[in-house]
Amino acid sequence: MLREFSHTTRAADLAALSSDDPFDILIIGGGITGVGAARDAALRGYRVALVDKGDFASGTSSKSTKLVHGGLRYLEHYEFSLVFEAQKERRVLLDYASHLVRPQPLFFPVYKGGKYTFPKMIAGMWAYDVLSLFRNVKRHKMFRGADKVEAAMPGLRNEGLVGAANYYDANTHDARLTLANAQQARDAQAAQFPYVSVLGLNKDEQGRVSGAHVRDELSGDEFDIHARIVINATGPWADQIIAMADPSHEPRMSPSKGVHIVIPKQRLPLNGKDALYVEAPQDGRPVFLIPWDYVTIIGTTDTFYDGDLDHVPVTDEDVSYLLEIANHIFPDAHLTEADVQSSWAGVRPLVKDSGATDEGSTSREHSIWEQPVGLVTIAGGKLTTYRVMAEQVVDVAISKLQERFGLPERKAADTEHMPLPGAEYPLPATNSSTLPNDVWKHLVQDYGVYAKDIARRAEESPPLAERIVPNLPYIWSELEHAIIYEMALTPSDFLARRTWLIYDAPHRGQEVLDELVHRMGNVMGWNDQRRAVERQRYLDEIGILAGN
């Protein structure tokens, strides 16, 4: 059963803060690594607080390619340990977050003159299966000859087509996967504060980092959070946090911008189930075309980024690059900018790699270090391996706590075998509600076993069963659930991260914004001024997505 996780519990946790009773661990960063660490540490029995200047997953963790993948492309860099680890973690998520992480077949065409010859592709596929210990969803399949490829994926460019590989990874709703970790951290008594920004780091008499001076971005209040050790899990912002305590810090991050565009599903002839993994004709880098409910995702770019991390634009050049790839692989598609329904830009938190020749060759391995004393930073890595990263950074932090404060050793949390909220029981196989089948399917995919609770609320109050947007499966009952159990504090939280309306709905959901603000305001007690602020907050967010 879900515990309340809302504006009310947030306010109660803020009111309970005390300088006389420091937290064991303060985590800065509410992305997948930060909330994963909060979950892990709290399950071990440590007192944990987490802050983020925005919503959970509002940075990099909601702007991925939506794939939980085993790292096929890392084979060419001989990063076998990373591929092995990623394959294992993909299995863990398929088992213990089964509603949010689902098998995704991928189709990889091979062309004459490309980076990969057909024999090299065969070898790579066998290596991929071996490193999964032959425990992938299914083993790979090879298609030799253009005719067999065209039968499986009609519409592909025929010129130079040699064959194709068909293999499995997984897809995920990245923001909801992050949220599920935050919910389980809450169940384990972690105090989590989205929309609380760090203004500075505090130090004790020995010069060790001992907490943070923060500001509640919703109320404007400033206060201190005291902790014995601080974990910096802010991804591309890691250097900024370190510099608060060590002004002489030399930057260690090498941020890379990744852009995705969203196209209506009917505009590309994907076969309805397989995603495509292709080589960009411009530079040979890997790009995915992924079927996702009512749309197709195309991405990603990979370019060095030294701009404002809080406002990452999607440029005309980014969009043109991705459209050119799609039109190259599907010559009859004739996509234009008018077909782009939405887009997003995220920043990969890559650590500088002296051996890399470009962004694409920079290692995706993660790094953990303490600088200065009392501040443990984790950076790099990838979505798929977040659980291991979280476990490792908590191990480091706890070793420091035991060394400096004599805290007793506690049993490690068995997160490898622990279902996330929504996956505690087998998912409902049939529609047991009175809701339309497409609505029920959507609820099960996003909420798992809690789909029944949302459906029951809708059946008890028919207005909550109404669709938020015509022809899409989202219903108003989800908003109440998000406010009470998912810490949805703003319209952006709901439209962009609790649901996918910002990408699925025409015009990024602007048509429902006023009604959404009205309903949220009624539940959360907003006055007219606050309603106007929240409405503008969302318009600002979609302006960034549009590259304005």
How many domains, in total, are found in the chain? 3
Residues 302 and 360: beta-carbon distance below 8 Å: yes
SS3 category, 380: strand
Q: Give the pLDDT score at 548.
A: 47
Cβ pair 42, 48 in contact under 8 A: yes
Last residue of a domain, one of 302, 317, 351: 351
Residues 219 and 39: beta-carbon distance below 8 Å: no
Residue 267 covered by a domain: yes
Res. 252 pLDDT band, cuts 50 70 90: very high
> Do 289 and 200 belong together in one domain?
no
Of 347, 344, 380, the closest CA to residue 257 belongs to 347
Q: At what angle do helices 174-187 and 32-43 cross, to 10 degrees?
A: 20
Q: How far apart are CA 281 and CA 278, in angstroms?
A: 9
Better-scored residue on pLDDT, 44 or 71: 44
Q: How many CB atoms sit inside 10 A of residue 317's CB?
A: 11
Q: Do 158 and 183 fall within a single domain?
A: no
Strand partners, 345: 259
463 and 520 in one domain?
Answer: yes
Residues 369 and 451 in one domain: no
Say yes or no: 455 and 538 in one domain.
yes
Is residue 246 domain-shared with residue 391, that is, in the same domain?
Answer: yes
Sorted by sequence, the CB contacts under 8 Å of residue 378 that are 6+ apart come out as 33, 37, 231, 232, 233, 366, 367, 368, 389, 392, 393
* Domain match, 249 and 237 both: yes
Does residue 422 sit within a domain? no
SS3 assignment for 105-145: EEEEEEECCCCCCHHHHHHHHHHHHHHCCCCCCCCCEEEEC
- Picking from 329, 351, 373, the residue at the C-terminal end of a domain is 351
Are 441 and 539 found together in one domain?
yes
Helix, strand, coil content of the chain in percent (nearest 5): 40, 20, 35
Question: Is residue 70 included in any domain, yes or no?
Answer: no
Residues 338 and 265 both lie in one domain: yes
CATH label of the domain that carries residue 487: 1.10.8.870
- Domain assignment present for residue 291? The answer is yes
Residue 367's pLDDT is what? 94
Which residue segment(s) compose the domain that 292 sits in?
A: 101-171+254-351
pLDDT digits (tens, 9 = 90+) for 20-36: 789 999 999 999 999 99
Q: Pick from 75, 81, 135: which is nearest to 108 by CA? A: 75
pLDDT at residue 426 in the model: 86
Tokens linked to 540: 């600002």
185 has a pLDDT exceeding 90: yes
Both 112 and 139 in one domain: the answer is yes
Instruction: Encode pLDDT of 524-535 as tens digits.
Output: 999 999 999 999
Separation CA 14–CA 51 (nearest Å): 11
Give a yes or no: residue 195 inside a domain. yes
Is residue 1 a part of any domain in this protein?
no
Assess if residue 271 is contained within a domain. yes
Same domain, 326 and 373: no
Best CA proximity match to 321, nearest among 272, 258, 364:
258
Select from 297, 321, 351 the last residue of a domain. 351
Please write the tens of the pLDDT for every residue from 476-512: 999 999 999 999 999 999 999 999 999 999 889 999 9
Computed over every residue of the chain, the mean pLDDT equals 94
SS3 423: coil
How many whole angstroms separate alpha carbon 120 and alpha carbon 124? 6
Specify the CATH number for the domain of residue 43: 3.50.50.60
Query: Measuring CA to CA, how many Å separate 83 from each of 90, 106, 129?
Result: 10, 17, 11
Does some domain include residue 19?
Answer: no
Judged by DSSP in three states, 216 sits in strand
Lowest average pLDDT, out of 281-290, 355-364, 422-431, goes to: 355-364
d(CA 108, CA 288): 10
Tell me how far apart the alpha carbons of residues 537 and 515 are, in angstroms, rounded to a whole number.
15
Any idea what the CATH number is for the domain that residue 334 is in? 3.30.9.10
Co-location of 248 and 258 in the same domain: no
Question: For 309-319, how does the pLDDT look when each residue is reduced to its tens digit (9 = 90+)?
Answer: 999 999 999 99
